[in-house]
Structure 1
Amino acid sequence: MISNNKLAIFLIVASVLFGTLMLTFLKLAQEEVNVYVAGFFRFLFGFLIILPYILKSKFTVFKTIHHKKHFFRAFLNLPSMLLYFSALVMMPIEKATAISFVVPFLVTILAVLFLGEKIYLYRSFALVLGFIGMMIILRPGIIEISLGVYMALASSFMWSVVIIITKSIAKDDSSITILSYGYTYMTIFSFIIALFHWQTPGLQTLIYLFFGGLFGTLLHLCINHAYKLVDVSVTQPYSFLSLVFASLIGFYVFNETPDLFTWIGASVIFLGVLIISYREMKLEKEIIRKSIDIKN
């Protein structure tokens, strides 16, 4: 039987891949429509994908004791989404992804402060390596920081708070409940804003938006369930893998060639991921062995 740690790691890595694919299709869609329309259709299609399950459950999926948290989570998620999607238009996809790497540091700090999680030395070391890798890629003070960078940073801060809220809700609510509330609120909120900036997408763009919604839905299902299994701080270093996926997709889809510093930074980040993966697996084996010894 697969352990919680291994399953959570698998889910996070899968969510990173799905998230990169979502951004790819949304970047393609925004060649025709603005960020408000793209954001609305992304969540509308996501909502339609999970609607059969909501109907099958006879709306019992909405049973929760965290109504205010669900609302506040969506309220923060909306500007986070719009800022990040806007930044995506202004810069290469791997650059926007690299900037979002501030999220694991913020989340880990917030998890310690508000969720009472312990931050172990090896997790801290992996995060430090991730931060160094991000600094190598961005090179602040050496290259100009554009408006898109500031938008991506603001989005990352809001998303970090959303993750912490998600973790606090996940103790009591299922992944599909969190997803259902999020998509219901986000569809309504984004539709109201899109009405004032409406652009009708063509068929090809609608297809892009559908796949953006599909991969975005898979992304949220994976991370919501992963947060039920392990501490948030365990999962965060794996989000750095998104740079590898984003760089490959940026090269093959958008002809965006990552510079040398991007690859050096990515290598440092990947080293941090390898370290925490090895340590988490070793720690898990030690816990299992001690448990067996105690039973014997």
Structure 2
Amino acid sequence: MTDAPVNRPVAGILWMVASGLLFVFVNAGVKYLGPRVPAPEAAFLRYALGIVLLLPTIRPIIRARLTRRQWGMISARGVLHALGVGTWFYAMAQIPIADVTAINYLSPIFVAIGAAVFMGEKLAARRIAAIAIGLLGALVILRPGAREIEAGHMAMVVTALFFAVSYMIAKRLSDELPPMVVVSLLSISVAVALAPVAISVWVPPDLETLIILFGVAVVATTGHYCMTLGLRAAPITLTQPVTFLQLVWAVSLGYFAFDEAVDPYVILGGGMIIAAVSFITWREAKLKRRAVIPPPQATKV
């Protein structure tokens, strides 16, 4: 996804604000369900129910005439993303929404590291410093030794890593396939990958659960669409800092809706990660390099 000229900055910011709000509603829906159904089943239902939204993309997928190598990349991405989605649903049921949101910001940092290791991206001193600040932000959130690190926190770190690898594969696929095809095949492949695990732990869902998960699918899809419109309207260097608002909303939602305490260390650590990601993005734009670092929304469920 490339940056557009700065011709509609206000529109770009508003679209990204809307995207962030929608993803907070996704978090709220999943948090409300909690452990009502096992995490693999909830994740499977989210994607399976959302496939109905992808019916218009069947024809473009057929016309794409995918090669065996592309199918392999799509399958690998589906499995990795499915693992990330499963751990994300688990984390949402175990730890505060603010912690989930803040730790997920690590995905772009992991992408920056992966781009250097696997894609030959150069790591200048400033970029190394930004990555170090981002990782330090994660330590501020987790505070090992100062508090008990729950399984949900570790699950969320793993989630950020899985989503980062998924995004890097998507970057390769987007060079060869239309974005609509890449997004649609991700949803289908994730549903297929999650199906066996979901069946093994299946608990018959009630109607309310199905309605909420379908709503999550609709809202998440709309959120990604709003993000796309935002990135088309304004450069990512302008819209990237707006994603910090999502952490503010997540903290507010957790406090008012789920009686979760406000943890200043989570806000500080999340702010450090966002600052690091924003700096790396700004440097990419200043050097006029092809954008590698994604906005945090691009690695959402």
Equivalent pair of 1:80/1:158 in contact (CA under 8 Å): yes
Shift of 1:185: 1.6
Out of 28, 36, 50, the residue aligned to residue 32 of structure 1 is 36
- Judge which range, 67-76 or 181-190, deviates more: 181-190
CA distance in 1, matches of 2:245, 2:128: 17
Is 1:189 paired with 2:209?
no
The amino acid that maps onto 2:4 is N
Of stretches 20-29 and 120-129 in structure 1, the one that deviates more from structure 2 is 120-129
1:93-117 CA-to-partner distances (Å, cap 9, x unmatched) read 1112222333222110111232334
Instruction: Work out the CA distance in 2 between the residues paired with 1:183 and 1:150.
Output: 25
SS of alignment partner, residue 36 of structure 2: coil
- The aligned residue for residue 294 of structure 1 is none
Are 1:4 and 2:8 matched, yes or no? Answer: no
Task: Answer whether contact 1:102 1:156 (CA < 8 A) is retained.
Answer: yes
Percent of aligned pairs with the same amino acid? 27
Is 2:41 the partner of 1:41?
no
Distance 1:280 1:166, change over 3 A: closer
Once structures 1 and 2 are overlaid, which stretch shifts more, 234-243 or 75-84? 234-243
The residue number in structure 2 matching 1:97 is 101
Q: Equivalents in 2 of 1:96, 1:263: separation in Å?
A: 12
User: 2:262 pairs with 258, 283, 287, which one?
Assistant: 258
- Give me the whole-angstrom Cα distance separating, in 2, the residues matched to 1:88 and 1:143: 19
AA aligned opposite 2:149: I
SS at match of 1:73: helix
- Aligned equivalents of 1:77, 1:177: Cα separation in 2: 16
Map of 1:64 onto structure 2: 66
Indicate yes or no: 2:140 matched with 1:147: no
Q: Does 1:160 find its partner at 2:164?
A: yes
2:57 matched to 1:54? yes
The offset of 1:134, in angstroms, is 3.0
Alignment check: 8 A CA contact 1:175 1:221 kept: no
Equivalent pairs counted in the alignment come to 281
1:248 has 2:249 as partner: no
RMSD: 3.9
CA deviations 1:134-183 (Å, max 9, x no partner) are 33222122111122222222222222111111111111112210122112
**Is residue 133–residue 267 contact of structure 1 (8 Å, CA) maintained in 2?**
yes
Query: How far apart are 1:208 and its partner, in Å?
Result: 1.4
Residue deviations 1:62-91 (CA, integer Å, cap 9, x gap): 533411100100011111111121121111
For 1:234 and 1:111, locate their aligned partners in 2 and report how far apart those are by CA, in whole Å.
22
- Cα drift, residue 49 of structure 1: 0.9
Contact conserved, 2:64 with 2:177, CA < 8 A, in 1?
Answer: no
Unaligned runs of 5+ in 1: 286-296
Contact 2:57 2:181 in 1 (8 A): no
Change in Cα spacing, 1:121 to 1:218, as seen in structure 2 (3 Å) is: farther
How high is the TM-score relative to the length of structure 1?
0.77
Does residue 131 of the first structure (1) align with residue 131 of the second (2)? no
Q: Deviations over 1:199-238 (max 9, x none)?
A: 2222322221012112332455567899999x99999877
> TM-score, normalising length from structure 2?
0.75
CA–CA distance in 2 between the matches of 1:237 and 1:120?
22
Name the counterpart of 2:25. Answer: 21
Which segments of 5 or more consecutive residues in structure 2 lack a partner in the other structure? 289-301
- CA distance in 2 between counterparts of 1:99 and 1:271 reads 14
Deviates most, 85-94 or 250-259: 250-259
